[in-house]
Amino acid sequence: MKHRRLLVLAGVVGVVALVASLSVVAAGSAKPTASHQATAVAAPKVPNAAAIKKKYGGQKITFVGDSVGNGHVRDAALAKRFTKDTGIKVSVVPHPAASDAAYSQLARAFSQKSSSIDVAMIDVVWPGAFAPYLVNLKPKLGAQSKIHAAGIVASDTVNGKLVAMPWFGDFGLLYYRTDLLKKYGYKSPPTTWNQLFTMAKKIQDGEQKSNPNFAGFVFQGNSYEGLTCNALEWIASAGGGHYIDNGKATINNAKARTVLDAIRNQIGKTTPRGVTTYQEDQTEHAFDDGNAAFARNWPYQYGIGAGAGSKVKGKFSVAPLPHGAGGHSVATVGGWQLAVSKYSKHQGAAIEFVRYMTSKAVERFDAITNANVPTIPSLAKDKTVVATNPYLKPATANVARVARPSKFLKTHYNEASKAIYQGINQILNGTPASSVLPGVQSKLNQILKEH
Amino acid sequence: MSSVAQPAPSRRRRRRHTKLQRRQTRIGWVLLIPSLAVVAFVAIYPLGKTVYQSFTNAEFLAGITPTKWVGLENYRTLWHDTVFRHSVVETIKFTAITVSFEFVLGLIIALVVNSHFRGRGVMRAVMLVPWAIPTVVAAKIWQWMLDDTYGVVNDLLMKAHIISHPHAWVADPATSLASVCAVDIWKTTPFVALLLLAGLQVIPNDLYEAAGVDGANALQQFWRITFPLLRPAILVTLVFRTLDALRVFDVFYVFFGQRPDTQTMAIYAQSTIVGDGHVGYGAAISVAIFLIISLFVVIYVTFMRVTEE
């Protein structure tokens, strides 16, 4: 009798916990699916579908894909179309939203020679580290790679092997509220960081009277790969180098210290105090919910901001990121590639999936529905693509690009980037740059010396 | 646990064992072999391999450097590693804070739900809900509740005029450890209460009746009867919780990711192995964690023996 009551109790507790967990998960996934024009354009059909079906139909592959913004919605739509046309079943698994966590997941799978991943999306800084585990795509996709930007194809080629195919590009942009700039008497977006801080302060002070959650400026300040990208823009735009220049760590210099301390002084003043925990999604939510005047993010945010669920639809625009006193505007190069695992049991089917996903038709679909930067230069001039993605206009698209130092670090990139973003996160959380950067610099030099 | 303290059977007693008894012992050992093999496979082999790897420069990804024996080099580096030292301090702080709060609160809750009152069954069920929610889910809930812009905690505190403007509990280094401790205490106190409740239930009621007859008040009853008889359960609970807290990974990982100032030992080991790819050095960190935790086990077990005698 006693036992039975205990079992009933345990059951009740279990059910309550399950319901609570599920509702949290549901609440968590509800936000990013606020899709916009995604329904207007259908996923393109697969060319040569019949031949592919005959050869690989019925096989099952796993694609470790996107999780930021509407990326997973797009992946699922494309995979569904691919399955319908070719009979190859694609199970789409979103990777962790933080790029360094996604790296760890893949590294774990590759080191275990796991066949559980067939196709994976690879950050622009990873081909060097993962090359030994990836299939050379040159024999089958070499011809298709020629339509993509030569620079990206070159960085996806390791020791003569094409280990990944360019999928979409990325670069940092400044998002700003056109209506608020007008309201507070500004004619144009800021060109220097100091202008940005002044404008952010004035707008924030005014807006907080009616909206206490309003902040001047949001960006990716969390201790993760995204901060390495954000801080590169701050430092390089102030003439403080690119973390590592000519094979030597340069991060500990006066210009870098000045700009990092300037940003540190804004934390909790013109930014939310919690910006040091923000990744891309939190940045996008703050801006698109109408709670920020300025935001630094990748182009995908444009699509969500201009979409149906956005509160800033028609009220924002993009500009090049500001620069420091003696510098000029820059944008960190990002971007994602698709690669096929050497341990995949269905490499043929996986390559066909990559062929489809990196085709001109799919990149056009992705650019129009998801505001991602095409890696095919002719698409970046396509009228419809530019109309939905105004950031592709020369004013923002031609801004000087800066690259993270993966070419010097190769297989050690992830470790070095961690040293960088952990150090800068510490600065943002209140430690002066002068007591953090010497340590980061010596760690970087030590990593450079090790290989 | 009592088997640890038992003296080995003396030789004279063993000689008196009959043939049948000896055969039974043999059969017993034979029957134990499968489980011993499993233990060896799942516990001793990985542990041995970790120790072995800690003396090499093994890397996670292939083709970086050929793996070779480096002797004590990893341990030498570890000795001077300030990041590791910081993570040890951080973990021990977390352990000390959470275990003491969980113990005190858990004991109070256990005493309350052990007494007779209406709705006790419901109370016992409700109290377990935090423990039944998966840690990652609980941590995510709390992360949102503690958010500086949208969080309900700030909203409530401001409405109650306790704070004047929202505070970034997780982001601000001054409150980050406190916030993660709060989540762990919220989640694990029920577990502690449950273990202590089980201990309370085996204390015979007539002891209290006798004490009542002798005129002992509630406080005297607690210190003279409840506490001494609960001691075995308390020690088991503390061992469980301390070892768990020293290995903490999930709450910190959800709250802080790779943030440097709030890194626990387990997170440092994980990020060294999987993030940086240094399996050899990561193995040395893991061995160090193992030794630190073992130290606590030794202290507790010794303490237990002393109190048993």
pLDDT tens string A333-383: 999 999 999 999 999 999 999 999 999 999 999 999 999 999 999 999 999
| Smallest Cα distance from B288 to chain A, Å | 21
Q: Output the pLDDT for position A9.
A: 61
CA distances from B252 to A20, A419, B102, B247 (A): 21, 19, 18, 11
Chain B residue with Cα closest to A273: B168
Mean pLDDT of A148-155: 92
Residues in chain B whose Cβ is within 8 Å of chain A: 60-65, 121, 124-125, 128-129, 132-134, 137, 140-141, 147-150, 166-168, 170-173, 256-261, 271, 274-278
Name the residue type at position B209.
E
Assess contact for A194 and A168: CB atoms under 8 A: no
Cβ pair B140:A24 closer than 8 A: yes
Which element (helix H / strand E) includes B241? Answer: helix B227-246
pLDDT tens-digit profile of B239-282?
989 999 999 999 999 999 999 999 999 999 999 998 898 999 99
- What percent helix, strand, coil does chain B show, rounded to 5? 75, 0, 25
Q: Do A101 and B257 touch (CB under 8 A)?
A: yes
Alpha helices in B67-204 (DSSP H): 73-79, 82-114, 120-127, 129-132, 135-145, 152-159, 173-201
* Interface membership of A7 toward B (CB under 8 Å): no
Residue A112 distance to chain B (closest CA, Å):
9
Largest CA distance in chain B: 81
Nearest to B149 among A111, A224, A274 (CB): A274
Is A425 an 8 Å CB contact of chain B?
yes
Using the beta-carbon criterion (under 8 Å), do A24 and B137 form an inter-chain contact?
A: yes
Interface probe with A: pick from B252, B258, B261, most Cβ of A within 10 Å: B258
> What residues 256-285 of chain A have any CB closer than 8 A to a CB of chain B?
268, 272-277
The token pair that represents B94 in the structure block? 């977390």
**Strand A215-218 versus strand A316-319 pairing type:** unpaired
Beta carbons of A327 and A236 less than 8 angstroms apart? yes
Q: Quickly state the pLDDT bin for A82 (edges 50, 70, 90).
A: very high
The distance of A415 to chain B (nearest Cα, Å) reads 5
3-class secondary structure, B188: helix
Rg (CA), chain A: 23
CA–CA separation, A220 and A198 (whole Å): 20
User: Which residues numbered 188-247 in A keep a CB inside 8 Å of some CB on B?
Assistant: 212-213, 215, 222-224
Alpha-carbon distance values, B181 to A297, B166, B187 (Å)? 33, 20, 10
Name chain A contacts of B179, Cβ cutoff 8 Å. none
**pLDDT tens across A227-252, in order?**
999 999 999 999 999 999 999 999 99
What are the tokens at A242?
């690119």
Q: What is the pLDDT of residues A300-330, one digit of tens each?
A: 999 999 998 899 999 999 999 999 988 999 9
Q: Which residue of B has its CA nearest to A108?
A: B274
**Could you tell me which chain A residue has the CA closest to the CA of B254?**
A277
Cβ-defined contact of A276 to B171 (cutoff 8 Å): yes
State whether residue A295 sits within 8 Å of chain B by CB.
no
φ/ψ region of A322 (left if φ > 0, alpha if ψ in -120 to 50, else beta) reads beta
CA–CA gap between residue A277 and residue B255 (Å, rounded):
9
* Residue B160 backbone dihedrals phi, psi, to 5 degrees: -85, 5
Taking an 8 Å cut-off on Cβ atoms, the answer to whether B275 and A222 are in contact is no
Residue B308's pLDDT band (cuts 50, 70, 90)? low
| Alpha-carbon distances of A387 from A318, A380, A382, A391, rounded to whole Å | 14, 10, 9, 9
Whether the predicted pLDDT of A397 surpasses 80: yes
- For B257, the closest of A215, A224, A274 (CB atoms) is A224
Contacts with B132 from chain A: Cβ below 8 Å:
13-14, 16-17
The answer to whether the beta carbons of residues B222 and B114 sit under 8 Å apart is: no
Instruction: For residue B296, list its beta bridge partners.
Output: none
pLDDT bracket for residue B165 (50, 70, 90): confident
Check CB contact under 8 Å for A418 and B141.
no
**SS3 per-residue string spanning chain A:** CHHHHHHHHHHHHHHHHHHHHHHHHHHHHHCCCCCCHHHCCCCCCCCCHHHHHHHHCCCEEEEEECCCCCHHHHHHHHHHHHHHHHCCEEEEEECCCCHHHHHHHHHHHHHCCCCCCCEEEEECCCHHHHHHHECCCHHHHHHHHCCCCHHHHHHCEECCEECCEEEEEEECEEEEEHHHHHHCCCCCCCCEHHHHHHHHHHHHHHHCCCCCCCEEEECCCCCCHHHHHHHHHHHHHCCCCCCEECCEECCCCHHHHHHHHHHHCCCCCCCCHHHHHCCHHHHHHHHHCCCEEEEEECCHHHHHHCCCCCCCCCCEEEECCCECCCCCCEEEEEEEEEEEECCCCCHHHHHHHHHHHCCHHHHHHHHHHHCCECCCCCHHHCHHHHHHCHHHCHHHHCCEEECCCHHHHHHHHHHHHHHHHHHHHHHHCCCCHHHHHHHHHHHHHHHHHHC
In this structure, what token pair is assigned to residue A49?
């579908």
Chain B residues inside the 8 Å CB shell of A22: none
**Distance from C-alpha of B143 to C-alpha of B255, rounded to nearest angstrom:** 7
Q: Which chain A residue has the Cα nearest residue B151?
A: A213
Question: Average model confidence (pLDDT) for chain B?
Answer: 90
Chain A positions touching B63 (Cβ under 8 A) are: 132, 411
Around A248, how many Cα atoms within 13 Å sit in the side-chain half-sphere? Answer: 4
- A residues 20..49 contacting B (CB < 8 A): 20-21, 24-25, 28
Residue A274 to residue B171, Cβ atoms within 8 A: yes
Residue whose structure tokens are 């309350």: B112
Binary contact (A213, B274; C-beta < 8 A): no
Sign, Cα dihedral of B11, B16, B18, B24: negative
Best of A19, A100, A111 to disrupt the B interface by mutation (most B CBs within 10 Å)? Answer: A111
Partner-chain contact B148 A28, CB within 8 Å: no
DSSP state of B40: I
**B168: alpha, beta or left? (left if phi > 0; alpha if psi -120 to 50):** beta
Where do the domains of chain B lie?
1-53, 74-308
- Summarised one tens digit per residue, pLDDT across range B200-238 is 999 999 999 999 999 989 899 999 999 999 988 998 899
Confidence of residue A29 (pLDDT cuts 50, 70, 90): very low
Please indicate whether, in this complex, the C-beta atoms of B62 and A133 are within 8 angstroms of each other. yes
Q: How far apart are the first and last CA of chain B?
A: 13
Residues of chain B with C-beta less than 8 angstroms from the C-beta of A133: 61-62
Optimal mutation site among B53, B57, B60, B61, interface A, most CBs of chain A within 10 A = B61
* Arithmetic mean of pLDDT, B135-147: 93
Q: Could you tell me which chain A residue has the CA closest to the CA of B270?
A: A104
The predicted model gives A148-153 an average pLDDT of 93
Burial group, residue A13, by CB count within 10 angstroms (0-12, 13-18, 19+): buried
Query: Can you tell me the distance from the alpha carbon of B56 to that of B69, in angstroms, rounded to the nearest whole number?
Result: 4
**Amino acid occupying residue B107:** L
| Beta carbons of B148 and A418 less than 8 Å apart | no
Longest dimension (CA), chain A: 80
Contact A429 B172 (CB under 8 A): yes
Q: Do A107 and B274 touch (CB under 8 A)?
A: yes
Phi, psi values for residue A261, rounded to 5°: -65, -35
Radius of gyration of chain B (CA): 25
Give B71's Cβ-side CA count (13 Å radius). 2
In B, which residues are within 8 Å of A425 by CB distance?
259-260
pLDDT band at A42 (very low <50, low <70, confident <90, very high): confident
Q: Does residue A3 carry a pLDDT above 70?
A: no
Residue A263 Cα distances to A25, A67, A418, B174, angstroms: 34, 28, 20, 20
Whether residues A13 and B125 touch (CB distance < 8 A) is answered with: yes
In sequence order, what are the residues at sequence separation of 6 or more whose Cβ sits closer than 8 angstroms to the Cβ of residue A77?
Answer: A38, A43
Nearest CA in chain A to B259: A223
CB contact under 8 A, B274 and A273: no
Interchain pair A9, B63: CB under 8 A: no
Q: Could you give the CA distance from residue A413 to residue B269 in angstroms, rounded to a whole number?
A: 18
Tell me which of A37-46, A253-262, A299-308, A395-404 is least confident. Answer: A37-46
Q: Do A421 and B258 touch (CB under 8 A)?
A: yes
A76 phi/psi in degrees, rounded to 5: -65, -40
Per-residue pLDDT at B200: 94
CA distance A166 to A187: 38
For B169, nearest residue in chain A (alpha carbons): A274
Pairs across A and B, CB distance < 8 A: 122
What average pLDDT does range A430-440 have in this prediction?
97
Q: Would you call B60 and A451 a contact, using CB atoms and an 8 Å cutoff?
A: no
C-beta separation of A402 from A331 below 8 A: yes
Q: Domains of chain A (ranges plus CATH)?
A: 38-171+334-395 (3.40.190.10), 173-332+401-450 (3.40.190.10)
Assign a CATH topology to domain B74-308. Answer: MetI-like fold (1.10.3720)
∠ Cα A365 A366 A371 (to 5°): 120
ipTM: 0.83
Map residue B278 onto helix, strand or coil. strand
DSSP code at position B8 = P
Stretch 338-367 of chain A: residues touching chain B, C-beta under 8 Å: none
